[in-house]
Amino acid sequence: MIYAYGITTQGTYHIKNNIPCQDYHNIVKCGDNMIVGAVADGLGSAEHSDIGSKIAATVSVNYCAEKIVKLSNIEEILDVIKESFVLAQDSVEREAQDNGHSISQYDTTLSLAVMCNDTLYYGHSGDSGIIALTVEGLYEQVTKQQRDEDDRVFPLFFKDEWIFRCYDKKVCSVLLATDGMLETFFPFYIKNEPVNIHVVLARYFMDNRTLRINESGEEITKTRIEDFIRSIPHEQVNDDKTVVVMVNTSVESSLQSEEYYKEPDWIELKRKHDEEWKRMAYPHLFKKQDTETVN
């Protein structure tokens, strides 16, 4: 049985500056063993991006939910996901034209996932993203944020950047998030560590051993996670925050070693980072110390 919850909250920066929430999410269940979900994040520089994100997430998910239930092979499913992205962008452009606006004023990202039993199919555009919990018990980043060398986002309009794939590992849980939330799972201090995802946090959101979503129910689970998201300090995330989580409770994941689930030693990681930075910035200060260590 696949359970799901979705949360979108307005960021504190948007509240303070009277900017509408530019995130949107949509989830459609297609029986007990299939679900479609998406998150979309309207670009902050686009005046009507809140409308663009709503259209993109709604149109793409509803189209996939309607078409994929009748299909079975990988190629057909990925073709439908691609068609849903085309339809989503066309719908956004039509909305802009009908209102006499520039298409760029509706720019949005779009990440969509179709979970069929233990298989993940997905489409991706922009800097939102997808994380999977594999049956081996590993939390893995499925998509990469799409930004150019100047850190500008490639929105849905950039069709050449679209990605459509079937994930190459079996999964028991999938998380989609807009960038405001996604980046909390990949803290700066562990980006070069062997495990570069905040496993403790991901486990809290995705692992049914923690969620117990089949026992607590989707609404109670959603309320608990939403309370947690709203408690995230403004200094850590001030952007809109959206997550969609799908959990197949019929598919169990293995457990890794206890070490894998430990909270990182943030103090030591910061010390290590600061020392590395000082070594690069002031190599002469460490030259004598390194020489003495070698000798």
pLDDT per position as a tens digit, 194-215: 999 999 999 999 999 999 999 9
CATH number of this structure's domain 2-262: 3.60.40.10
pLDDT at 162 over 50: yes
Question: What is the average pLDDT across 42-54?
Answer: 90
pLDDT at 292 over 70: no
Question: Which of the pair, 243 or 293, is modelled with greater confidence?
Answer: 243
What are the E-state strand segments in 31-125? 34-41, 110-116, 119-125
- Residue 250's closest CA among 156, 170, 165, 159? 170
pLDDT per position as a tens digit, 88-110: 999 999 999 999 999 999 999 99
Band of residue 287 on the pLDDT scale cut at 50, 70, 90: low
| pLDDT value for 290 | 56
Phi, psi of 276 (to 5 degrees): -65, -40
pLDDT at 216 over 90: yes
pLDDT at 81 over 90: yes
pLDDT at 285 over 70: no
| pLDDT value for 291 | 54
Question: Mean pLDDT for the chain?
Answer: 93
Question: What is the average pLDDT across 159-174?
Answer: 98
Classify the C-alpha dihedral 223-224-225-227 as positive or negative.
Answer: positive
| pLDDT value for 294 | 47
Say which range, 31-45, 49-63, 115-129, 158-172, has the weakest mean pLDDT: 31-45
| pLDDT value for 279 | 80
Q: Give the integer Cα–Cα distance in Å for 127 and 78.
A: 20
Band of residue 289 on the pLDDT scale cut at 50, 70, 90: low
Are 145 and 124 a contacting pair, CB within 8 Å?
Answer: no
pLDDT at 283 over 90: no
First to last CA, the chain: 63
* Structural domain boundaries in the chain: 2-262, 265-295
Residue 68 zone, left/alpha/beta (φ > 0; ψ -120 to 50; rest): alpha
Are 172 and 116 a contacting pair, CB within 8 Å?
Answer: no
Q: Give the integer Cα–Cα distance in Å for 244 and 37.
A: 7
| pLDDT value for 293 | 54
